[in-house]
Amino acid sequence: MSQPGKSILLVDDDQEIRELLDTYLSRVGFQVRAAADGAAFRQSLCAESADLVILDVMLPDEDGFSLCRWVREHQRFAQVPIIMLTASSDEADRVIGLELGADDYLGKPFSPRELLARIKALLRRAQFTQERGGEVLAFEDWRLDMVSHRLFHRDGEEVILSGADFALLKLFLDHPQQILDRDTIGNATRGREVMPLERIVDMAVSRLRQRLRDTDKPPRLIRTVRGSGYQLAATVSLQAGDGR
């Protein structure tokens, strides 16, 4: 499956990798832009957004973690899927990247075919989450606009969601009051394992709880069901409007 017209912004200081991926991904129908450092990446993304970002951790001017955080803090780019690349085998790097909102993680050296498979999976997920056009889902004190992916609290605060945050929240909202096991959550939100599945899912749920102010002990909104998984303890209703 090719993705004609989909744009990818590649950020890596290794010229050979940039040229190899530019050629490979262009041949299968992607529009590829490349940057060698953080400054060029910021300039390129601000000038024209992308459908997906491939972001190296080690760059000459600033690391990929700070760039990932910068992307997630801007409403205009917050939903863009991010794949992070690293030459390090340290799991701590993967944890940091995922906690900052990266959608996937790939260690160097890697196969371009594997990278392509992950790109396609993330773009399919991004497309799937946009299918329910015009809907606003209401639960507790929150409103989620399914088109813009904007999440609003009744006090007026807007919470910026990454693509992974949105996919997980949507999964819970599609199955209120149901217990979802870790396999179901992992397959729906990430689709593959970059570290033990249990670790990935627990991190993702913890991050979403922070977004939803669900920090009581024990959490009130997204409950842990010991030995089974997680449950959204809220009633969900469908509304019209912009989520405010």
Residue 196 and residue 227 share a domain: yes
Cβ atoms of 37 and 13 within 8 Å: the answer is yes
Tokens of 65: 């973690």
pLDDT value of residue 1: 45
What are the residues whose beta carbons fall under 8 Å from the beta carbon of 96, sequence distance 6 or more?
A: 65
Residue 123 and residue 11 share a domain: yes
For residue 200, tell me if it sits in a domain.
yes
Would you say the pTM of this structure is higher than 0.85? no
**What pLDDT tens digit does each residue of the chain (244 aa) get?**
445 679 999 999 999 999 999 999 999 999 999 999 999 999 999 999 999 999 999 999 999 999 998 998 887 887 889 999 987 666 666 777 777 778 888 888 889 999 999 999 888 877 765 554 557 899 999 999 887 778 999 998 988 887 778 889 999 999 999 999 988 888 776 645 545 667 778 888 998 999 999 999 999 999 999 989 999 999 999 876 554 4
Residue 125 and residue 143 share a domain: no
- In eight-state DSSP terms, residue 233 is -
Q: Is 229 left (phi over 0), alpha (psi -120 to 50) or beta?
A: left
Residue 172 and residue 81 share a domain: no
Last residue of a domain, one of 130, 153, 179: 130
What secondary structure does DSSP assign to 181-213, as a single string?
A: -HHHHHHHHTSS-SS-HHHHHHHHHHHHHHHTT
Residue 167 and residue 109 share a domain: no
Residue 228 and residue 152 share a domain: yes
Domain that holds residue 68: 7-130
Question: Which single residue is written with the structure tokens 């085998």?
Answer: 89
Gap between the Cα atoms of 151 and 166, Å rounded: 9
pLDDT value of residue 161: 83
Residue 221 and residue 110 share a domain: no
Last residue of a domain, one of 130, 148, 166: 130
Residue 167 and residue 65 share a domain: no
For residue 1, tell me if it sits in a domain.
no
Gap between the Cα atoms of 154 and 60, Å rounded: 43
Residue 124 and residue 137 share a domain: no
Last residue of a domain, one of 106, 130, 154: 130
Question: Which single residue is written with the structure tokens 């249990």?
Answer: 198
pLDDT value of residue 240: 61
pLDDT value of residue 89: 61
**Would you call 222 helix, strand, or coil by DSSP?**
strand
For residue 2, tell me if it sits in a domain.
no
CA 141 to chain centre: 23
Instruction: State how beta strands 229-232 and 52-56 pair.
Output: unpaired
CATH number at residue 75: 3.40.50.2300
Phi then psi dihedrals of residue 34, to 5 deg: -125, 145
**Would you call 52 helix, strand, or coil by DSSP?**
strand
Residue 109 and residue 34 share a domain: yes
- Cβ atoms within 10 Å of 106's Cβ, excluding its own: 17
Residues in a beta bridge with 107 = 86
Name the CA dihedral angle for 105, 160, 209, 101, rounded to a multiple of 10 degrees: 10
Residue 196 and residue 99 share a domain: no
Tokens of 126: 């991004």
CATH number at residue 228: 1.10.10.10
Q: How many structural domains comprise the chain?
A: 2
The Cα-based distances of 33 to 1, 6, 41, 230 in angstroms read: 21, 11, 9, 40
